[in-house]
Amino acid sequence: MGEIDAKTLGERIRGARKRADISQEDLGRAVGLERTAVNKIESGVRKVTALELSDIAGALDVRMSSFFEDPVPALVSHRSSQGLDTTDSKIDDLLAKYAGEIEFIASLEVDELGLDAADKVSEADITQPATNAAAEALAVKARELMALPAEAPIQRLSDSVAGIGLLAFSHDIGKDSADAGTILLPRGGVSLVNSHMKIGRRRLALAHELGHYLISDDYTVDWRVDNHADHSVPVESRLDRFARALLLPEAALMQHWNDYVERYEERGAAILLASDFRVDMATLAKRLKELGLADGQTTDSIRGYRTTQADIIEMNLHIPLEELQGTTVPRPFARAVLRLVRDERISRERALDLLQNTLDEADLPPIRERRSDEIWKFIS
């Protein structure tokens, strides 16, 4: 965090206000300033006092310190390409917030954050997949980088991607918003998944974002993943294929599908595989078709299947804890925040804010009792 001039500070206030979708008049009303005063602050003509800046930050629901932090380069590039007057979507705003918080923690050199794991990706020399075969090969490579078995289900995808430097957050940003987005950091990356979707779609969205991360896309926001036409958006279509291949390895389906159909019939086979690999029926249907294991009529039927409570009981299905449900923060990020609290490098209030209130005050490490000689150091 360093000193900045009034013009730069004003531009950052203006950007935060626009992303919050608040007018100058409404912001002024919230902080006790005339609209003309807000306009002059944003233009750099009038200096803003510390108290006014604190009030502005509160009204815009951002940290006051964020006005003094240099934004992530990928974010600067994205906003420049969109034009100064473009109002970012909710997912853009949250991505920017999480990226800034990760960079803040990284600046404190906390080992628990684990961004050095991103070196595995940079050393792998990955290129953008130009064919479906290349997308399949990239999925195999991704499992190798994450030290995952070639054919087994990925139990906690968010933990696995963190193992190679991609920190995945989730937040419910509503039905009519993007599915997910990713920003590449100077080291590692951050993804945000819209948790309004069901579990299978959330995992598919994160798998797709992993694809963007692996091929070093600076900044992406994805709407309706797994619905890209190859002729119009070939890169996205390849990453859709990558995501399905990552979650549903070819070897596993080749081994199990026909055997399961013979033992449990078509519906039972689909329910078992969707449950084991934690995917939705649409993803399973599309994957079976692209591997030549099911025709159009079969895949249409699979898309209509729903797992019932009776299925769970009769087929003895294991239903794991929901992943990326509601508001979540990646485990390495949470561990890093708790380390900073334990070492008394950030306040407990700041920790709860960083953790998006996914923990309560009582969940934080206990306040350390000070020895009498430590107390005397403060008053001597």
Domain residue ranges in the chain: 1-69, 73-247+321-380, 250-314
Q: How far apart are CA 193 and CA 36, in angstroms?
A: 38
Query: Is 91 strand, coil or helix?
Result: helix
| pLDDT, one tens digit for every residue, the chain (380 residues) | 456 888 888 988 988 888 777 899 999 999 999 999 999 999 999 989 989 999 998 898 887 877 887 766 666 656 555 554 444 467 888 898 899 899 999 999 999 999 999 999 999 989 999 999 999 999 999 999 999 999 999 999 999 999 999 999 999 999 888 999 999 999 999 999 999 999 999 999 999 999 999 999 999 989 888 888 777 788 999 999 999 999 999 999 999 999 999 999 999 999 999 999 999 999 999 999 999 999 999 999 999 999 999 999 999 998 777 899 999 999 999 999 999 999 999 999 999 999 999 999 999 998 877 666 655 554 44
| Amino acid in position 376 | W
Model pLDDT, residue 367? 81
φ/ψ region of 335 (left if φ > 0, alpha if ψ in -120 to 50, else beta) reads alpha
What's the token pair of residue 321?
């804890």
The architecture that CATH gives domain 1-69 is Orthogonal Bundle (1.10)
- What's the distance, Cα to Cα, between the start and end of the chain in Å? 31
Model pLDDT, residue 271? 96
168 beta partners: 191
Q: How far apart are CA 131 and CA 114, in angstroms?
A: 32
Distance of CA 98 to the CA centre of its chain: 9
HSE (side-chain half, CA atoms, 13 Å) at 356: 17
Q: Does an H or E element contain 36, and which?
A: helix 35-43
Model pLDDT, residue 19? 74
pTM of the entire predicted model: 0.83
Model pLDDT, residue 76? 60
Model pLDDT, residue 84? 42
Model pLDDT, residue 1? 44
Burial class (CB in 10 A: 0-12, 13-18, 19+), 221: buried
Model pLDDT, residue 371? 61
